[in-house]
Structure 1
């Protein structure tokens, strides 16, 4: 599903720029409606897996479309817009999790029915509000398309590499740390409360971060460095020989602070580096790099746990995160030096 989402991210970005922003959004939503709608009636094996893969493709197109539309807003800094997107998406996760807990008691088919209804509502919103949101046609001919300088390309490549690594780290929390907690005597309910804590932190702190958006936008590199460094430090808390529930909550607190700084900051950073004609395509690449990290993160973590230990995994996550941040800063420094030299 994650691999299919990567494909959807890339396709959605290209179609947004070169075909039609409005039709691309509708295409992604229609794929989501059809896949979840089919699962209402047929959700056994292998139908369930096949439909999830198709749903992942539609999600990839739709999420890239949302980010690409966000780049068109000129009344605010792009970082402010992406902060708000990240806030509302996490608020949706909180509400969605609550709905699932209530609806699941009636049967899994009602979960897919609820999702289908939500996607239909989203399509109606898109039909009404997205059609005139862009001066169409948005795409340009290949001869008139703008291209990025080599220095900018290098910076974007390295920040996308850091972004993928961050999701490899983050996915450990959504997969392998659950088994780590159970192995240490914690319950599944304890694990679920950790994610409730994460959601509460995001909802509480993201608006505060947005308030200081002007300063954060001017110091984007510092924002990214602090955010991704916090990602690395969060795993260090789990290296204590006797890990208590408080250690886990502190680790999640550090991770969440890094998350709200770094993850929406990457989309804003890339957007600030690319011309108008390429914004959809590069937002697709941003989403694709994150989806790639989500796809391989649980697999890498599971292999390291089985072959070595949880402690080795935590050290590994910290090292690869800090190393990728170092490489990104080196790339920014070198490319900026070359740009100054060319001037």
Structure 2
């Protein structure tokens, strides 16, 4: 019988950084590569992205179950092996239909890894969980900034080189998993071959605010995803360039990297105002789409919209993980962190399709109005449900 200990935070942060950097070498080039190199239509590219996101959802869901009911270490080990195999496959097979098949494999593995990392965060014992999620959010975005910045310089040498560098990062991630995650199965005492105790039930008074938050996350990412799909076309149609669009994402990354450390410094105060942080961040994300109503060809208004969106994102994302952890019963941390990751992936999967339908059948203006109204109505409902929970 072996007494297990909590995960050291530094290796959790290193794992998050490497996993997200490796992933960010791949996702920015997916649509461009499918359309410009493989000659597929934008509809086909959208369907490939949808399938990839659904595989991430599947990985999130299975990862949460395996983390709670099987093994913390072996769940993330399986995820790391899958992404290593997926990037190796894509390095040598990046035509059609091998490319989308490899992407779906990577999506499933990344889903396992993301849920495992967020679940391991609940096992760190020497820091507040809210602090850990803040730093994880910073490290994951730092990885994305570095990956998306470098991929533009590496892609001219061939897409195989991109997957090769991604493979190296995933291998280092796998080595860290094997060396430093092995002996951290959480706080429970486990005997090999012994049955796990029954999972605690989530009471109805906690389930309602949890479901309300997950619904808000789905709505949020449906419209956030417009920035990674339809808003690029909107900017080009208004006379702006792809360079302008790329610089908007540069602003997003720089703001996250610069502001998040201050959020972490004031973590104790923010933790005591967790619910207001969620409401305020969601409302800011909704408000960012109002600015787009007046953007037209005004580049600075797109920058202003992204700035508002980013501040809202910084407020919401780590706080959502902390909120879910606070409500999750013992023995089900992986399941509910997986549910949060699945809600994010589901929103991202539905976003491009829903946005394209609204644009095709109505207009961009209607899309931006609906984005604001849907996000604000969802957060209003969440606040009402949460208020009732807080009175219990």
- CA 171–308 in structure 1, closer or farther in 2 if over 3 Å, else same: same
- CA 127–213 in structure 1, closer or farther in 2 if over 3 Å, else same: same
Q: Is the aligned partner of 1:300 residue 2:354?
A: yes
Asked if structure 1 preserves the Cα contact closer than 8 Å seen for 2:199 and 2:330, the reply is: no
Deviation at 1:74, TM superposition (A): 2.3
Deviation at 1:106, TM superposition (A): 1.3
The match for 1:252 among 281, 302, 306 is 306
Structure-1 separation of matches of 2:321 and 2:292: 29
Q: Deviations over 1:155-185 (max 9, x none)?
A: 1000000011111111011111000100100
- CA 241–291 in structure 1, closer or farther in 2 if over 3 Å, else same: closer
Aligned length: 338
Question: RMSD across aligned C-alpha pairs, in angstroms?
Answer: 1.5
Structure-2 separation of matches of 1:241 and 1:121: 43
Equivalent residue for 2:340? Answer: 286
Q: Is the aligned partner of 1:111 residue 2:170?
A: no
TM-score normalised to structure 2 length: 0.84
Structure-2 separation of matches of 1:203 and 1:240: 28
Structure-2 separation of matches of 1:138 and 1:32: 30
The match for 1:228 among 262, 270, 282 is 282
Equivalent residue for 1:49? Answer: 100
Q: Is the aligned partner of 1:31 residue 2:85?
A: no
Q: Deviations over 1:267-301 (max 9, x none)?
A: 11000111231101110011000000000011100
3-state DSSP of counterpart to 2:124? coil
Deviation at 1:195, TM superposition (A): 0.3
Equivalent residue for 2:389? Answer: 335
Equivalent residue for 2:190? Answer: 137
TM-score normalised to structure 1 length: 0.95
Deviation at 1:224, TM superposition (A): 0.1
**Residues 174-323 of structure 1 correspond to what in structure 2 (within 5 A)?**
174-240=228-294, 242-323=296-377
Deviation at 1:51, TM superposition (A): 1.0
Please identify, of 155-164 and 271-280, the stretch whose mean Cα deviation from structure 2 is larger: 271-280
Q: Which runs of 5+ in 2 are unaligned?
A: 1-51
3-state DSSP of counterpart to 1:52? helix
Structure-1 separation of matches of 2:300 and 2:231: 15
Q: Deviations over 1:194-249 (max 9, x none)?
A: 00011000001000111110011111100000000000000001111745111111
Q: Deviations over 1:81-130 (max 9, x none)?
A: 11111111111011112321222121101111111111111000011110
The match for 1:22 among 55, 66, 73 is 73
Asked if structure 2 preserves the Cα contact closer than 8 Å seen for 1:171 and 1:298, the reply is: yes
Equivalent residue for 2:221? Answer: 167
